[in-house]
Amino acid sequence: MLFKNLISLVLLSVLLCPFNTTFAADNVLNIYTWAGYLSDAVISQFETETGIHVNVATYVNNEVLYAKLKANPDSGYDIIMPSSYFISRMRKQALIQKIDHSKLAHYRNINPAFLSKEHDPDNEYSIPYLWNGTGIAYNIRYQAEKSVNTWQDFWLPRYKNQLLLIDDTRECFSMALIALGYSVNDQDPDHIKAAFEKLKALMPNVKLFNMDAQRSIYLDEDITIGMGLNGDIFLASAQNSYLRFIYPKEGFVITLDSIAIPVEAKHVANAHLFIDFVLRPEIAKKIALESGFSTPNRAAKELLPLKVRTNPILYPDAETLKKGQFQTDVGEAAPLYEKYFERLKLEE
C-alpha cells in the first residue's frame, strides 16, 4: 500500500517537473553576472523591446565563474561579466569568443580611457560594463581627517588591529606592490616575495579580511579604516556622513568588469543585441545609478545627476585616474601569488 503510494507520488512529481525544452529555444538569453549589476527594470525593458526572454543568474566572484566554465564549457550561458584579468586568461584559453563590433552601434559611447587595455587589445573579446577602484576608506569620527594619504600609511603602528583588507589575493598583493613601487601585474618572483614579506609585516594591523558587503561594515562602524571599493563607500557615505574615501597617491587598482560571450553560447545574436542595448546612454546611466558603481560610458556619464558625476569618489579627475592600474593576467606567476597569500594566513 505504502509502496504504491510512493510510486504514484514519484510519478506525479515527474509529471509536474519542468522539462528544459526552452533551453534550445531561440528567443532566450542566459546572462550570468554579478549580483546588483543588472536590475529588473533594465531587464524588463530589454524583454519588452526585443521580445527575448532573459534568464539572469548571479555569481559571487570570478574564480567560481572560471571554475564552472572550465569544468563544463557548455554551461548554457550567453553573457558573462568577468573582471579584466580573467578576460585575458579566458581569451588565452579560448573560453570566450570574438564580439562583432559591427553590431554595436553604441560602441563609440565608451570612454577611450577604458579601451584597448593590455588584457584585451582592441577589445575584440570584451566590452567594458562597469568599473570600480580600490582605495582607502576611513571614518573621520575615529580617524583624523586627511591623516591617511598613501597605502604605506597602513603600516603605521597606530592602526594595530584596525584594518579591513579585501579578501582577494590580487587586491592585497596589488596594495603591497604599489607601496613598493612595482606594477600590480608584476611577474618577477623576487618582487612578489618582497610584497609577501611586506604583507606579513602588516598582519598585526589587520582586523579582518572581508569578502562580502563592505557597505554595512563601514556604515555600521565596525571598522574605521581599511581598503574599500569606491562604489561601496560612495553608497555607504550617503547614509553615514563621517565616511571618507581617497585614492592613494602611489596608485590604485582599477577593476574593469566587462561583458564577454562564452565560446559555446547558443544565442549569440541575442547576446549582441543585449550588449548594444546596455551601451545606450540612458540604459548605461540606469545601470550605473542602480549598481552604485562607475560607468565607463562617456555619454551615460553626462546624463548622470550633477552630484553623482562630479563626485570625486566615483569619477575622479583625469590626473587621479591616470594613476590607476588595470589588472591583467599574470600567467605563470598566478600560482605563486596564491601560495604566498595562503602562507600569509597560514602563518598567523
Residues in 193-222 at the binding interface with other proteins, rule: CB under 8 A = 206-213, 215-216, 219-222
Residue 97 in the binding site for other proteins (CB under 8 A): no
Q: Tell the residue number behind the cell numbers 571598522, with chain if given.
A: 223
CA distances from 189 to 185, 192, 196 (A): 12, 5, 10
Site for other proteins in 73-92 (CB under 8 A): 74-77, 92
Alpha-carbon radius of gyration of the chain: 22
**Which residues touch 259 (CB under 8 Å, ≥6 apart)?**
79, 80, 81, 126, 127, 129, 275, 278
Site for other proteins in 291-330 (CB under 8 A): 291-292
Helix axes 169-180, 334-346, angle to 10 degrees: 100
CA 193 to CA 203: how far, in whole Å?
A: 15
Residue 64 in the binding site for other proteins (CB under 8 A): yes
Residue 11 in the binding site for other proteins (CB under 8 A): no
User: Which of these, 146, 120, 347, lies nearest to 256 by C-alpha position?
Assistant: 120
**Which residues touch 26 (CB under 8 Å, ≥6 apart)?**
267
5, 15, 18, 145: which one binds other proteins (CB under 8 A)? 18
Site for other proteins in 21-60 (CB under 8 A): 22-23, 30, 32, 34-36, 40, 55-60
38, 46, 66, 286: which one binds other proteins (CB under 8 A)? 66
Total residues interacting with other proteins, rule: CB under 8 A:
72
Site for other proteins in 155-174 (CB under 8 A): 167, 169
**Residue 79, SS3?**
strand
Q: How far is the CB of 266 from other proteins (least distance, A)?
A: 10
Site for other proteins in 258-297 (CB under 8 A): 291-292
Question: What are the φ and ψ backbone dihedral angles of 258, each rounded to 5 degrees?
Answer: -125, 160
Question: Which phi-psi region, left, alpha or beta, contains residue 123 (left: φ > 0; alpha: ψ -120 to 50)?
Answer: left
Residue 68 in the binding site for other proteins (CB under 8 A): yes
What x/- string results for residues 226 through 255 when contact with other proteins is judged by CB under 8 A? ---------xx--x----------------
63, 124, 188, 302: which one binds other proteins (CB under 8 A)? 63
Residue whose CB is less far from other proteins, 27 or 216: 216
Residue 143 in the binding site for other proteins (CB under 8 A): no
Beta bridge partners of residue 55, listed in sequence order: 30
Residue 9 in the binding site for other proteins (CB under 8 A): yes
8, 27, 41, 70: which one binds other proteins (CB under 8 A)? 70
Residue 2 in the binding site for other proteins (CB under 8 A): yes
CA 306 to CA 338: how far, in whole Å?
A: 42
